[in-house]
Structures are given as structure tokens and as C-alpha cells.
Amino acid sequence: MAPSHSLADKTMCGHLYIVTAPSGAGKTTLVRHLLANDPGIRVSVSHTTRAPRAGERDGFEYHFIGVQDFLDKIANNDFLEWAQVHGNYYGTSASGIEVALQAGQDVLLEIDWQGAQQVRRQFPAASGIFIVPPSIDELGRRLRERATDSDETIARRVAAAREEMRHVDEFDYVIINDDLQRALHDLLAVVRATRLRCPAQRQRHSILFATML
Ligand code: 5GP
């Protein structure tokens, strides 16, 4: 399913984060707070064939496109990854990510486990972060509270959450979202620690190291 892009071969300055969670785990809220706290990260806006929910705007939460347009983009190898999730197509456009990473910007992808697997194959250095809800009951409650999906959709998403949870071991970091502030601090800690990794620091402070080594 994953197209083969040449991105991984190029020298990237920014870091790629993959954030995955069952629907209703609070991923989007958490990511929104992360972006507000850290201007160095930009989130990739995915394409989807799902209908917009109330309040969602084209080009902001998603690029909303038709199935044929999505299939054309697959055929054109436009996606870094794509998957069918809950009966709709979702995909990450490759072009914006390449530009951002090469410009030294960190990029965050909010994608499901199938997309995460595809991206990890192309970017082994990407950091995978899995957000876990405090319980399945709480997950169902949050989905109902959102009141944007039908009962049938909610039931399907709760069932899918169990399936998604089975992939938790494929991720580097796990954050339990039982308290938004604590979960946000955990996420900020992951980003901060990633920026302190030796290769990133060597690149960022190359002049300093040149004077000392
Ligand atoms: P929602 O419809 O609730 O916004 O998203 C449903 C699921 O699709 C979530 O698990 C979300 O992470 C996933 N998703 C959103 N965008 C993408 C994408 O570009 N690629 C993949 N593989 N999954 C995505």
C-alpha cells in the first residue's frame, strides 16, 4: 500500500512525529495544545473522503475530497501513506512534508496504525507516539459526548479502538490521556527529549562542536 518515495534518502533537518490513537482518545485536542505550546512543529493536513463534521473546514482539519479524486492521487503516487479507516479513505500528501522537513521544521502526522506502519518503513527515525484513553468506557463516553457521529458510527469506532490498541507495541512512546495537562506534559517531554538527541544537537550546534572537537 505504501508508495515508494525518495524522501528517506535525503538529509532531513526536521523530525517526524507520528501520533496514533483510537478515535475519542483525545489525540486531536492534545495535538492542538502541543502546537499552541510549540511553534516549531507543524501538523500535516490529511486528505479524506469522509464527510466534514459540523464545524470542520476544508483545508484546516482535512482536505475533503471525493473518492475518485482520492484514487487518482493514489495512482499519481501523491501520498506518503494512505489507508481505509472506518470505511473512508485517509492519506498524507507527500509533497508538503518533504518541503517542511528539509526546511528544518518538525512535522507531526495524526494517522492510524496502518499509516504509521507505512511511514515507519520510509522514515525509520520517526518517533511513534500512541495515545491511550483511560478506559474503553471513557472512550465510548467521549465519542457520545462529541455528538457528531451516529450511534452506529460510535459503536463501530469503539470496536475499532480495541483493534487499534493491539498495535501499541509498534510505537516508541505511550501516553495515557486520563488528564489533559499531564498528557500534554508527557507529549512536550517526548518532543524535548527528541530535540536533545545527539545527532540533532550535533547538527543544530555544528559551529560550537567545530570549535571544540
Ligand atoms: P476522524 O475521521 O475521526 O478524523 O479520523 C479517523 C481515523 O483516521 C483516526 O484514527 C485518524 O488518526 C485517522 N487518520 C486521519 N488522517 C489520516 C491519514 O492521513 N492517514 C491515515 N492512515 N489515517 C488517518
Is 120 within the bounds of a domain?
yes
Domain count, the chain: 1
148-185: per-residue pLDDT in tens?
Answer: 778 888 888 888 898 999 999 999 999 999 999 999 99
Is 10 within the bounds of a domain?
no
Helices (DSSP H) in the chain: which residue ranges? 27-37, 67-75, 94-102, 113-122, 136-146, 151-165, 180-195, 198-204, 206-212
What interface predicted TM-score (ipTM) does this complex get?
0.99
Q: Measured between alpha carbons, how far is 187 from 174 in angstroms, rounded to an integer?
A: 9
| Minimal-distance CA residue to ligand 1 atom 21 | 111
CB of 83 shorter than 6 A to ligand 1: yes
In which domain, by residue range, is 144 found? 16-212
Ligand 1 centroid–CA 110 distance in Å is 7
| Minimal-distance CA residue to ligand 1 atom 24 | 111
Ligand 1 centroid–CA 212 distance in Å is 46
CB of 93 shorter than 6 A to ligand 1: no
Is 87 within the bounds of a domain?
yes
CB of 118 shorter than 6 A to ligand 1: no
Is 5 within the bounds of a domain?
no
Please identify, by atom number, the ligand 1 atom nearest to the C-alpha of residue 27: 12
Residues whose CB falls within 8 Å of the CB of residue 152, separated by 6 or more in sequence, listed in order: none
CB of 114 shorter than 6 A to ligand 1: yes
Is 124 within the bounds of a domain?
yes
42-93: per-residue pLDDT in tens?
Answer: 999 999 999 999 999 999 999 999 999 999 999 999 999 999 998 999 999 9
Residue 28 assigned to a binding site: yes
CB of 167 shorter than 6 A to ligand 1: no
**pLDDT-based confidence at residue 7 (cuts at 50, 70, 90):** very low
Q: At what angle do helices 136-146 and 151-165 cross, to 10 degrees?
A: 140
> The domain spanning residue 161 has which CATH number?
3.40.50.300
Is 82 within the bounds of a domain?
yes
Residue 75 assigned to a binding site: no
